[in-house]
Amino acid sequence: MSEKYLPLAATIAVFLILFVAGGLLYNNFFSTLVIGDILADNAFVIIAAIGTTFVILSGGIDLSIGSMIGFVGVVMANLDAAGWHPLASAAMMIAFGAGFGALQGFIIDFCEIQPFIITLAGLFLLRGACFMINLDAVPLRHPFVAAFADASLPLPGDGFLASSAIVMLVALAAGIVIAHWTKFGADVYAIGGDRASAALMGVPMRRTIVKIYALGGLYSALGGVVYALYTSSGYPLAGQGAELSAIAAVVLGGTLLTGGVGYVAGTLFGGMILGLIATLINFNGSLNGAWIMISGGLLLFLFIVLQRFLVGSLRARSAT
Amino acid sequence: MNRPAPSPPPTKPALSDRLRAVARHRMVWPALALALILIVDGFVSPGFFAIRIVEGRLFGSLIDILYRAMPTAVVALGMAVVIGTKGIDLSVGSIIAICGAVIAWRIHAGDPHFVILLLALGAGLLCGMWNGLLVAVLEIQPIIATLILMVSGRGIGLMINLIYGGTNPSFTSPLLQGLSVGHIGLVPTRLIVGAGIFLALWLLVRRTAFGLFLEAVGGSPRAARLAGVNARLIQYSAYLVSGLCAAAAGVILTADTHTSDPVSEGLYIELDAILAVVIGGGSLAGGRIYLGGTILGALVIQALTTSILTSGLPPEYNLVVKAVVVIVVLLLQSANARAAVVSVLPGRRK
Amino acid sequence: MGENGAGKSTLIKVMTGAVRGDAGEILLDGRAVRVDSPGAARAAGIGAVYQEVNLVPTMSVTKNLTLGRQPRRFGLIDWRRARAAARQKLARLDLRIDPERPLGSYSVAIQQLVAIARALEDDARVLVLDEPTASLDANETQRLFGILRDLKKRGLAIVFISHFIDQVYQIADRITVLRNGIRVGVGSIAEIPPLQLVSLMLGHELQEVEQAAADLQAAPTGEPILTATGVGRRRVMEPFDLELRPGEVVGLAGLLGSGRTETAKLAFGALRPDSGEIRIAGRVVLAPSPGRSLRLGVTFCPEDRKSEGIFAELSVRENIGLALQARRGWLRPLSRREQDRLAREMIDKLAIATSDAEKPVGQLSGGNQQKVILARSLVSGPRVLILDEPTRGIDVGAHAEIVTLIRGLCAQGLALLVASSELDELIAVSHRIVVLRDRKKVGEIRGADATRERIIQTIAGA
């Protein structure tokens, strides 16, 4: 197998190992019901993480994801109360997400300010906007929401794919196509791999960077839409910490934080690993949130050390 | 020996030149921002500047700002040191949580309180050693390296809480009480502690060669190595400093709440700390360390919060205002943005 | 061909559209073409390969070859056609590699060939190669030349920029020599023999250099303070021997790329040798490193001041004092007064043009930055001073100052190793001159016998 697939293979392997371990430890674990639940519960984070994958592939970072999720939900809830159809407000919020992301990308490139700081400001801005609109959760009452929550596709076995999971899989497919079958996708990988070379090879830098963050914002907004529909409410604290989960999902999925290497598909598995760990702990019952955090950190650590050695050996191979 | 010809006697510099020179000084912007906020406060909230003495202690909005800013400021000082080496420490909030858990644990175990303080600081040091190992020895990117402790640290804190049973254990401790709300003379104790930490760091950074080495490593690690600086050791030490500062802040924050709450203690303090450093003139790309500017930055952030509180604006506005101020300061610090704004002003086109 | 600053890179950038020229015109097949962007150059049939392989190592060969020009189908990339196009380009150069593997997994030589394959559009007429063999070893170079000869036969015009004399004579038909931005010579290989070529490159400019050879005292004898025996590093320098005695100046001469900097860095410990042994003051240095060398009194002034020399944000004063401070350790800071004194002293001694020692070094001119780095070395009281291009970018007047300074230092008992492209200065100060060519030490000339002609001859191998 080509060595470039190694990190992705490692991720899938870890996922399978965890899943099998769960099946051995608990009854009822080894079923598509569990898988369906994991997908449904974590769909919104994985969707946002898909967008983040592009940002990280280009060597950047986006901390405003979680706040965008909350903001989108809150706005949708208020529009719902004003009589809007959820799909209309969803479309508007997705457009907003793209625009906000584009603005962040523009500032990052034009003012030459680090993405960390600008998207951090974005995090505060959107979260603050959430609070300014609503302090408490606001329900979404439009009948479409209930219909959406009920819609599902049956899976072989007991399980089923909830609508949120279906949206996530479609978004994932779109992301994979964009990453590997468009000029834009190739440019993203080039910028992340070697920025100076990419410029010399003719990649339009500013345009591409703006597009990258716009895409990230679009996916974050989509994640917010899915979350709002899934929970039938707009909650100002929604998505808090989601940016970290998204980044973790991307890194666990085999994408390097330095950029240029990674697969969008890996993010799916990275997110599912995070969900699987949470489920395993839930099944146990006696363990608690503490173990989720500790094991999350441990996994991250192991993966990064593995990544370092992989990258190091790649570099040593071609060193002068 | 050739000497450059003496320059002609300088003509009086134009006002615009003087302004430009001042604008370039990094600490001007946070100082201006702080002054502006306070001035607005003076108009919006009458009596903002009033300082009274109640129960032998100073009281007032200004004191309040200093009081509440202290933990963030201390964390920000450690963050400034790390950022100076072109690094970052996202784990400070988790370090605070761990320290809080250690404090509660040892109080319940009956240790003398002074020893507990040392243990808490030791925990912070240990965390710093871990971060330093990842960044300086394993050469992992600082964002990701400190993310690991950030993610798992609160879990570790929860685990420590569980060791002796109970969640969010609370405690009573006169020493910590004193640190939290006590006062020495007219001045709140914590401000004295904070001043002491600032002094210690200032001595370390500016009165030894440590600060010079930090800035050299942050400026150009290759050049630093060629000049004989042990870049690895310097980077490692920076994370030790950050860990200790986080522990100090953790002591104060834990004392405030009389309880160990690893999930929410110090939540998002790393973001405020980073903002304080950047507002204070530091750059995430490494370089100069502005300890004083960092304090100003922390004060700006706290002043914003306090101002919104006293002005009657709903506190929800806090985050948005904070974000806007940060963005404005960042834009002002960016040469490109300044040039773009200036070129648009009438009468300035060359 | 041309030395540093001759104008080769600028000319290439104008020809390939990376930079806009403001005079003259480019004629292709007798017709003028406008080349004002990399895209326009490509469209005109001019392909460029720059010195640093400017491709993306993390992407596959196919992706690198097709970036920006991917064949599409229904708006999406058609990878089958892309892979076919890539295989075709590789076949043109007889490159039998797996195009799906990441570029970075191949050697630099292969990466270079891939870069060339990318530059060769189907309708390319001209190929410009900027220092293509800089990172290649002998075998890889021959392979490249085989490919170039093949391309030549197919009618491609090739511009081969290099400073490796041997290679130029192997592969080129005609030579153009640049110096200080002017074309100083052009002709066929037969018309310009190596001796003349080197003379053209180094020029006969007049410098205010005294007839120093006569002034130099006899080469010092005695125990060497720094010895390198069989020190080398694969792909960087062939193993060499070097000795420095107190009060002696040893020059390192050779053309750009011959290994001057590498030799200096290996002696200093900035590059880890993988063969041989270094002794300082009689003691074997087991793990050479800058820190160890500095503690033993050996200092180094790098050539690349921007990335290895200056700390742009720090002040002149801080830059000057850094190495001395590093030697003293962090607990013994130099007092401010002492720092100011040292800064003042160095600013005067080296005529550093700054009104203020607090100015960030990044704001000084290149030459003054160089002086600051030199000052830093001097301040730490070294026994051995290794200088790499100490007069690069320093105005003519200051040249003589540096020369006088170097002589003064060696009279005080310092040992100096000076790598330079300025032959006259080397002759003026050196007791011995070590001659390098193509990463190998090819000779050593005693000061008394050192003349331009002798050095040029040794370089040219005549």
Candidate from A279-283, C210-214, C348-352 with smallest mean pLDDT = C210-214
pLDDT in tens, B266-319: 888 998 999 899 888 888 877 789 999 999 999 998 988 888 777 777 777 888
For residue B4, pLDDT beyond 50 = no
Size of interface B-C (CB pairs under 8 A): 87
Say whether pLDDT at C144 is over 60: yes
**Residues C61-114: pLDDT tens digits?**
999 999 888 888 888 898 999 999 999 888 888 788 889 888 988 877 788 889
Say yes or no: C68 contacts chain A, CB-CB below 8 A: yes
- Domain that includes residue A90, residue range: 42-269
- How far is residue C59's CA from residue C55's CA, in Å, rounded to a whole number? 9
Q: Which of A129, A251, A293 sits opposite B155 (nearest CB)?
A: A293
Does the pLDDT of residue C451 top 80, yes or no?
Answer: yes
Cα–Cα distance between A44 and A51 in angstroms, integer? 11
**Is C82 part of the contact surface with chain A (CB cutoff 8 Å)?**
no
Decide if pLDDT at B11 tops 80.
no
Give the pLDDT of residue C212: 46
CA distance linking residue A99 with residue A214, whole number of Å: 6
Q: What is the ipTM of this complex?
A: 0.82
pLDDT value, residue B349: 47
Please determine, for residue B9, whether its predicted confidence score (pLDDT) is greater than 80.
no
- Option in A120, A294, A304 nearest B152 (CB): A294
Q: What is the pLDDT of residue A50?
A: 97
Within a domain: A117: yes
pLDDT tens digits, A220-262: 999 999 999 999 989 998 888 898 889 889 988 888 888 888 9
CB-based contact, C71 to chain A, within 8 Å:
no
Name the more confident of C399 and C404: C404
Q: Percentage of chain B surpassing pLDDT 90?
A: 38
HSE-up of C86 (CA within 13 Å, CB side)?
Answer: 26
**Domains of chain C, each with CATH number or no CATH:** 8-202 (3.40.50.300), 225-460 (3.40.50.300)
Between residues B253 and C364, which one has the greater pLDDT?
A: B253
pLDDT at residue C433 tops 60: yes
C135 chain-A contacts, CB cut-off 8 A: 320
User: What is the pLDDT averaged over residues C139-147?
Assistant: 83
Domains of chain B: 59-327 (1.10.3470)
pLDDT at C3: 63
pLDDT at C398 over 60: yes
Q: Which amino acid is at A115?
A: P
pLDDT per residue over A80-89, tens digit each?
889 899 999 9
Task: Read off the tokens for A131.
Answer: 């609070």
Q: Which chains touch A (3 or more CB pairs under 8 A)?
A: B, C
Bigger pLDDT: B315 vs C233: C233
pLDDT above 70: percentage of residues in chain C: 88
Dihedral (Cα; B11, B13, B15, B21), 10-degree rounding: 180
**What's the confidence (pLDDT) of residue B2?**
45
pLDDT of residue B1: 40
**Rounded mean pLDDT of chain C?**
83
**pLDDT at residue C216, rounded to an integer:** 58
Give the pLDDT of residue B7: 46
pLDDT interval class at A182 (50, 70, 90) = very high
- Total number of domains constituting chain A: 1
Calculate what percentage of chain B has a pLDDT beyond 70: 90
Structure tokens at B86: 């072109």
**According to the model, what pLDDT value does residue B12 have?**
54
Least confident of A1-5, A61-65, C37-41: A1-5
Query: What separation, in Å, do the N-terminal and C-terminal C-alpha atoms of chain C show?
Result: 19
Q: What is the pLDDT of residue C135?
A: 65
What is the predicted pLDDT for the residue at A181? 92
- Residue A183: inside a domain: yes
Per-residue pLDDT at C320 exceeds 60:
yes
Q: In which band, very low, low, confident or very high, does the pLDDT at B102 lie, cut at 50, 70 and 90? A: very high
Both tokens of residue C147? 């490919």
Q: What is the mean pLDDT of residues C280-291?
A: 88
pLDDT of res. C277 = 92
Q: Is residue C207 pLDDT above 60, yes or no? A: no
Q: Is B215 in contact with C311 (Cβ distance < 8 A)?
A: yes
**A5 close to B (CB below 8 A):** no
Using alpha carbons, list the distances in angstroms from residue C426 to C250, C302, C413: 8, 17, 18
Put simply, the chain A residues between 168 and 227 with a CB less than 8 A from any chain C CB are 177, 180-183, 186-187, 189-190, 192-194, 196-198, 200-203
Give residue B36's pLDDT: 82
Query: Would the pTM of this model clear 0.90, i.e. be above it?
Result: no
Q: CA C301 to CA C385: how far, in whole Å?
A: 8
Contact A201 C55 (CB under 8 A): yes
Which of B319, B322, B341, B343 to probe the A interface (max A CBs under 10 A)? B319
pLDDT of residue B151: 85
Q: How far apart are CA B247 and CA B111, in angstroms?
A: 18
State which amino acid sits at residue A282. Answer: N
Most confident of B233-247, B309-323, C95-109, C290-304: B233-247
For residues C6-30, average pLDDT: 73
Over 80: is that where the pLDDT of B29 sits? no
Residue in chain A closest to B148 (alpha carbons) equals: A297
The predicted-structure confidence for B37-71, as pLDDT tens digits, reads as follows 888 888 777 777 778 777 777 778 788 889 899 99
- Does A93 map to a domain? yes
The sign one gets for the Cα dihedral C288, C291, C293, C296 is: negative
The CA angle B71-B73-B75, to the nearest 5 degrees, is: 70
Q: Binning pLDDT at 50, 70 and 90, where does residue C210 land? A: very low
Q: Give the separation between CA B287 and CA B285, rounded to whole angstroms.
A: 7
How many pairs of residues across A and B have Cβ atoms under 8 Å apart? Answer: 130
pLDDT category of residue B162 using cuts at 50, 70 and 90: confident
**pLDDT at position C317:** 93
CA–CA dist A12, C319 (Å, integer): 51
Do the Cβ atoms of C148 and C158 come closer than 8 Å?
yes
Token couple for B157: 């804190």
Quote the mean pLDDT of chain A: 87
Write the CB contacts of C300 (distance below 8 Å, at least 6 apart in sequence): B226, C264, C265, C268, C270, C290, C293, C377, C386, C388
- The answer to whether C322 contacts chain B (CB < 8 Å) is yes
Contact A257 B144 (CB under 8 A): yes
* Angle B113-B119-B123 from CA coordinates, rounded to 5°: 150
What's the confidence (pLDDT) of residue A61?
92
**What is the pLDDT confidence band of residue A173, given thresholds at 50, 70 and 90?**
very high
| Contacts B220 to C, Cβ<8 Å | 307-308, 310-312
Of A111 and A5, the structure prediction assigns the larger pLDDT to A111
* Mean pLDDT value across residues C24-53: 76
pLDDT for res B18: 63
What is the pLDDT averaged over residues C377-394? 84
Give mean pLDDT, residues B326-338: 79
Does residue A254 lie in a domain region? yes
> Does residue A182 lie within any of the structural domains?
yes
Q: Which of B333-347, C92-106, C293-307 has the lowest mean pLDDT?
A: B333-347
Q: Would you state the pLDDT for residue C399?
A: 65
Higher pLDDT among residues A278 and C383, named by residue: C383
Contact state of C50 with A200 under an 8 Å Cβ cutoff: yes
Chosen from C65, C67, C136 to mutate, greatest number of chain A CBs within 10 A: C67
How close does chain A come to B267, measured CA to CA in Å? 11
Q: By the CB < 8 Å criterion, does A249 face chain B?
A: no
- For C351, left (φ over 0), alpha (ψ -120 to 50), or beta? left
Instruction: For residues A270 and A172, give the distance between their C-alpha atoms in angstroms, rounded to a whole number.
Output: 13
Distance from the Cα of A117 to chain C's closest Cα (Å) equals 21
pLDDT for res C211: 44
What pLDDT, on the 0 to 100 scale, is given for residue B134?
A: 95
Residues in chain C: 462
